[in-house]
């Protein structure tokens, strides 16, 4: 699969840096600015795993240590202030990775099934909102399958997507989901992560449909495994959506 790794400058105060061009970064990195000028760095780790640096706040989403022949070295990264887990499948919930990243005051936020599987953590259900002391807000949103024969993978009401708001910068991390009706309520998104691998999540066509609906300024297709994403950027170019394809296989 051809990987589109071109670094693009975006509008509306969003900037980017290509991690492969940075000698001090092992993983691809995209940089954004919040309303007050705080730099938010998003590192592409693997599949659905990402590391977000919001100033001095360290956030990890669905951290896993290994997938296929790819291994993530969390010992080279700071401990987490916040860990978000969307659901308890093996490619999203990795107990060893979480334990390695956790410090005494780490806020571990999961859906209920993941709290049960891990044995600790704060549970958020679809629709719950949380305001953290560091000024970051989190909203848990639905993530589920709707295609016939696929609903057993991610049943309605169990798993989470998350909307992070960091000093006015909004990041939608969709989790494992298809193009569900609740997405019509997701608005004013700066950065969206939409999954793209059937039968578990969406096809490229559905990703394009959702992107046109929620209209993020920047779109990262993720959780894509071997899916060919090359048709997505051209379909969204006229919509003014900056599509960035990183190593989220």
**What is the model's pTM?**
0.90
Mean pLDDT of the chain: 90
Per-residue pLDDT tens over the stretch 230-247 = 999 999 999 999 999 999
What is the DSSP annotation of 177-234? --S-GGGGG--S-SEEEEE--TTTS--HHHHHHHHHHH--SEEEEES-TT---TTHHH
Alpha carbon distance 217, 241 (integer Å): 5
pLDDT value, residue 25: 52
**Model confidence at 107: pLDDT above 80:** yes
Going from N- to C-terminal start, the domains of the chain cover 19-243
Per-residue pLDDT tens over the stretch 140-186 = 999 999 999 899 899 999 999 999 999 999 999 999 999 999 999 99
User: Nearest 5°: phi and psi at 230?
Assistant: -65, -20
Per-residue pLDDT tens over the stretch 7-51 = 333 333 444 444 333 333 589 999 999 999 999 999 999 999 999
Task: State the fold for domain 19-243.
Answer: Metallo-beta-lactamase; Chain A (3.60.15)
Q: What percent of the chain has pLDDT over 70?
A: 90
Q: How confident is the model at residue 198 (pLDDT cuts 50, 70, 90)?
A: confident
94: helix, strand or coil: coil
pLDDT value, residue 244: 98
**Model confidence at 2: pLDDT above 90:** no
């Amino acid at each position: 699969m051809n990987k589109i790794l071109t670094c693009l400058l975006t509008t509306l105060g969003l900037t980017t840096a290509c991690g492969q061009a940075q000698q001090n970064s092992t993983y691809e990195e995209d940089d954004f600015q919040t309303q007050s000028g705080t730099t938010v760095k998003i590192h592409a780790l693997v599949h659905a795993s990402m590391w977000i640096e919001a100033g001095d706040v360290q956030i990890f989403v669905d951290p896993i240590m290994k997938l296929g022949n790819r291994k993530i070295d969390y010992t080279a990264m700071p401990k987490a202030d916040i860990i978000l887990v969307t659901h308890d499948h093996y490619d999203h919930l990795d107990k060893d990775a979480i334990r390695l990243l956790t410090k005494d005051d780490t806020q571990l936020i999961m859906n209920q099934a993941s709290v049960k599987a891990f044995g600790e953590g704060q549970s958020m259900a679809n629709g719950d909102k949380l305001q953290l002391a560091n000024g970051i807000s989190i909203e848990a949103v639905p993530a589920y399958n709707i295609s016939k024969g696929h609903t057993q993978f991610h049943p309605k009401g169990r798993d989470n997507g998350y909307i992070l708001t960091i000093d006015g910068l909004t990041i939608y991390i969709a989790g494992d989901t298809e193009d569900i009706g609740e997405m019509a309520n997701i608005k004013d998104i700066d950065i969206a992560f939409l999954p793209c691998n059937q039968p578990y999540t969406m096809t490229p066509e559905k990703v394009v449909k959702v992107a046109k609906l929620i209209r993020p300024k920047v779109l990262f297709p993720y959780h894509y495994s071997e899916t060919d994403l090359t048709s997505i950027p051209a379909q969204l170019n006229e919509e003014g959506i900056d599509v960035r394809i990183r190593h989220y296989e």
